[in-house]
Chain A
Amino acid sequence: MRTAKMDIFRVALIVLAILLFSALYLYQERRVAGAFGFPLDDAWIHCQFARNLARGDGMSYNPGVPISGSTAPLWTFMLAASYLLVPNFILTAKVMSVALHVLSCILVFKMLVFILEDVRFAFLGAVFTAMISGLTWGSLSGMEVMLSTFLTLAGTYLHLLYRRETGPKQYLSTIVFALASLARPESMQLVFIALADSFLVGRLEDREKLTQFGRRAAVHVLLFMILLVPYFIFNYMTSGQPFPNTFAAKSAGGLMVLLSERNVGEFWRTFLVYPRLYLSATLEMSLKHNLLLYWLMFVGTARIIVDSFRKSVRNRALIVPLIFFVYPAFMGIVSPNRGVLIWIMRYMANLNPFYVVLGVVGLHEALRLVRATLAELWVGKQAADRIIRPLQTAIIVVVILSLSIEEYENSKFYARGVENINSMQVKIGRWMRENSAADAVLAVNDIGAITYFSERKVIDLFGLITPEALPYRDRPGGTFEFLSLMKPDYVIIFPNWFPNVARRKELTPILHVFLETNAVCGGQLMTVYRTVWAEEEGDIASRSHAAHVEPDP
């Protein structure tokens, strides 16, 4: 039994668990924010791209200007398709992600059946996956989190099933990994991790010669690249590089910088500092979910590695620990992000189910070891069973209780995030729509909700959708120099991010939005400035907005 269907009763329980916790999050959202929304501004970036796509403006942020500003184009396309059916992104994004969350739980079940051949423990893994707070947050965040998670799991499961196939089925995992790369560019490494696993398994089983493997690997890589060619071409045509512009905008060093600048200091940071930082952040994320599962994860890892090197074992699952430990380290090497690590963790949310799989394998193994030790050394088989059953139940109850408490705590954080974005970016976006000319140009540092709701042309000071801003961003006085060149009508920024810009006499503050409790925004205060360039153009409409100036907090 290396494959098994999850029966309808179990599926219903998983759906129920996910709906229950989603309802808790939505209740908190309604209670704290007063309205539904998204807990990060980035979700609105997807919405803006998707709306433009659905309206026939192509992959553009400012309608009609193509740009590769979405790191998850597949999710953007899915949102655009959903918009044609139901023009409400908050509803469609959440429904699609919750459905993907359910499917991910089913895949965890299948993967655990493959590894453990124990349906009860496999179901336990599915339940834990349904209760991981990072995934519940992701499924309601409006972002690509659950799509990336689902595709990573699907590709890995297909790889486990068909890696020994010689026919076309062996390429299914590569196709899914290509799709996963369109949901998160970091997932491009998955196909190479899978090939490394195939290589090791091939060596251990003495199945194919090195040359045969080399040929097979080349076909996989070729197929993978062919599938991604349109993606690379679009990126190159719009931002002059093979990866989305956001990739360059958010990268803070690593292999790309090392290769382009040949910096010795960057060499050490690339291979020693960043991977360690990313790996420890992943482990910290796992520890935060549950201490017991965290330690069991190492037991599970050891078990899978040891079993993978045993001749008699057929269900080798070395790819699971490989993905869990190599993925973040490689991510740190290639493109360490300039953001705060806690937010980067959402880019690695697809590792959460792997943590659950390793934890459940560890639990299975630990219980087996304790049972064997008790039975053989101390109390005999029957007494060992009598001890193990309540112990197993107690551990499961404790983990479920702990995950539920974490869900409750995280639901408050999620709700605060929605409240922050609704009270700041969404509010400013709506205000700009009502109080600025239709052809006004806004220079912003948070491009999501402000653009979506204002429906104005924007210049991104952070460079995500305005690559021209990138050379100016990091140099002293560069941002204002860029503004002087672009001459926007309004500048909307966190003054704490751009203190020198905020003090310029060319900018007149016309609206302050202050958050009492800031959980997710870059600053507590966001200010809308009217620029002298707008005055020069004689934008009379905006002049009347002096009345809206709110006092400094």
Chain B
Amino acid sequence: MVPAIEKSTLSVKDQRYRNLLRYGLPTCIITLLLAYLGSDLMRLAVLMGSLLAYGVVARRRVYPFGYIAGADAPFEDKKSELLSGRLEEGKDTVRRVALVWVMVLLLVCGLSILVPLVHVNAIAGTDLFDNITKLSVVFSMVQTHIGDRYRPTAARYFVMVLRVIDNIILISISLFFSITGSACLFWFFIHREDIKRQQAQAS
């Protein structure tokens, strides 16, 4: 579909919520699924990602989704500094949210590891890269040109390389979704805190 940059009539406050939800909700769901269905390495990456996200959000002065929200650039330039300043204050409260989120992820990972009944390792061991590229077919063709003596070693190394690539891909995906999902969640609560504070001041 056309990447729609909509000139929305929604208020900036609503747009922030909407975009954080639009990107945050699916990534958080995927993060939870990865924590539940992934291999142990992926689960570790998910947990690391959520902690990393907290570190980044707590330290960086950023205002995400300014452009996607469709607000025009001059508006952003004028407002972003003020808004960022306000948002910085809200970051103090996100620590509790981060703690709860990491606990939830730990629970999901632990549940899958410790309780045999719900133990699912659906994503692990699927020969992901080979299934995508079908390189094993190429290898089986090349294999005929390798001497008998070296064939088992070559096969072993080939499988090993595929496993390494699989793990790199899966860990990268887990990290990406975990960092992004967690960051969106934290920002959502930072914005919520900011809006609540603004409302309190107004009243």
Contact = CB atoms under 8 A, between A and B. Distances in A.
Contacts of A368: 3
Contact of B132 (A116, A304, A398): A398
Interface string A369-386: 110110111100100000
A402 B133 contact: yes
Interface residues of B, number: 26
B137 A409 contact: yes
A318 B175 CA distance: 33
Contacts of A317: 1
Contacts of B23: 369, 372-373, 376-377
Interface of A: 115-117, 290-292, 303-304, 307, 310, 312-313, 315, 317, 361, 365, 368-370, 372-373, 375-378, 381, 398-399, 401-402, 405-406, 408-409
Interface in B105-147: 128, 131-135, 137-138
Given A375-B67, A376-B66, A402-B132, A116 B137 contact: no
Given A307-B1, A408-B137, A376 B128 contact: no
A195 to B, nearest CB: 23
A361 B132 contact: no
Contacts of A408: 137
Given A373-B180, A405-B137, A117 B2 contact: yes
A317 B4 CA distance: 16
B68 interface: yes
A320 to B, nearest CB: 11
30 contacts: A115-B1, A116-B2, A290-B132, A291-B131, A291-B132, A307-B1, A312-B6, A313-B2, A313-B4, A315-B2, A317-B1, A365-B1, A368-B3, A369-B23, A372-B23, A372-B68, A376-B64, A376-B67, A376-B68, A377-B62, A377-B183, A378-B180, A398-B132, A399-B132, A401-B133, A402-B132, A402-B134, A405-B137, A408-B137, A409-B134
A292 B2 contact: no
B65 interface: yes
Interface string B1-40: 1111010000000000000000100010000000000000
A147 B180 CA distance: 46
A384 to B, nearest CB: 11
Interface string B26-64: 010000000000000000000000000000000000101
B4 A312 contact: yes
A409 B135 CA distance: 12
A290 B183 CA distance: 32
Chain A contact residues: over half helix, strand or loop, or mixed?
A: helix
Contact of B128 (A291, A303, A402): A291
A294 to B, nearest CB: 9
A502 B23 CA distance: 66
B128 A361 contact: no
Pick the 9 closest A-B CB pairs, nearest first: A307-B1, A405-B134, A291-B131, A292-B132, A376-B64, A405-B137, A291-B132, A402-B134, A377-B64
A406 B134 contact: yes
**Which residue, of A117, A312, A376, A406, has the highest number of chain B Cβ atoms within 10 A?**
A376
Contacts, number: 64
Contact of B1 (A361, A373, A375): A361
A270 to B, nearest CB: 31
Contacts of B2: 116-117, 313, 315
B65 A376 contact: yes
A310 B1 CA distance: 11
Given A312-B6, A376-B65, A405-B133, 13 more contacts: A290-B132, A291-B128, A303-B1, A317-B1, A365-B1, A370-B176, A376-B64, A377-B183, A377-B184, A378-B180, A381-B67, A401-B133, A405-B137
Given A292-B132, A375-B67, A376-B65, A315 B1 contact: yes
Contacts of A405: 133-135, 137-138
A291 B3 CA distance: 25
A402 B133 CA distance: 4
A290 B132 CA distance: 6
Interface in B154-198: 176, 179-180, 183-184
Nearest to B3: A368
A378 B66 CA distance: 13
A313 B1 contact: yes
Nearest to B26: A369
Given A290-B132, A401-B133, A406-B134, A116 B1 contact: yes
Contacts of B67: 375-376, 381
A308 to B, nearest CB: 9
Contacts of B6: 312
Contacts of B176: 370
Contacts of B138: 405
Contacts of B135: 405
Contacts of B3: 368
Nearest to B134: A405
**Which residue, of A290, A381, A405, A408, has the highest number of chain B Cβ atoms within 10 A?**
A405
